[in-house]
Structure formats: structure tokens, C-alpha cells
Amino acid sequence: MASSQCCENPPILSSTCGEGTVENLGGLKTYITGSPLSHRAAILISDIFGYEAPNLRKLADKVAAAGFYVVVPDFLLWEPFSIW
């Protein structure tokens, strides 16, 4: 059973946070960070708050700083969880 604690303090979503850019990739808006010339890549999948969650983008930026090309697709199609 899921705990209600994750929804008691939801993040403030921001389409402008992070060091990367938002681009259309395969028909999905995607947060992209890191060098496209890297030989290593990572795909990060968002939780219920979506790809605009600041902590997810900070994590993507840290993975990119370790030498990865990182993509975070918007699999929720602009409909992240809302407590209202």
C-alpha cells in the first residue's frame, strides 16, 4: 500500500529548472542534458510528479556531469499527479 507522505509535500514543478533543454524526442517532450557525443547514455523515468520535478532534473544533471547523455521523457503527457 502506498504511503500518503509522498503527496503531502509535492514539488513545485518548473519547466525552466535544470541545466539541460526540453526538446521533442520521438513525439514526447523530453528533458535532455549532457553531451550528445558521450559514449554512455541514461534514460530516467519520472515518478508521479512528471519530468518537470526539480529534483529529477537535478539528478539528471548530476548523471550528465558524470559523463552521460541523459534523457527524461514526459511519459505522463503533461498530466502529472495533482492533489487538488
Residue located via cell numbers 498530466: 79
Give pLDDT, residue 9.
66
Give 15-43 pLDDT, tens digit per residue: 778 899 999 999 999 999 999 999 999 99
Distances (CA, A) of 4 to 1, 9, 36, 81: 10, 10, 38, 13
How far is Cα 14 from Cα 5, in angstroms, rounded to an integer? 21
Above 70 in pLDDT, residue 81? Answer: no
Looking at residue 35, what is its pLDDT? 97
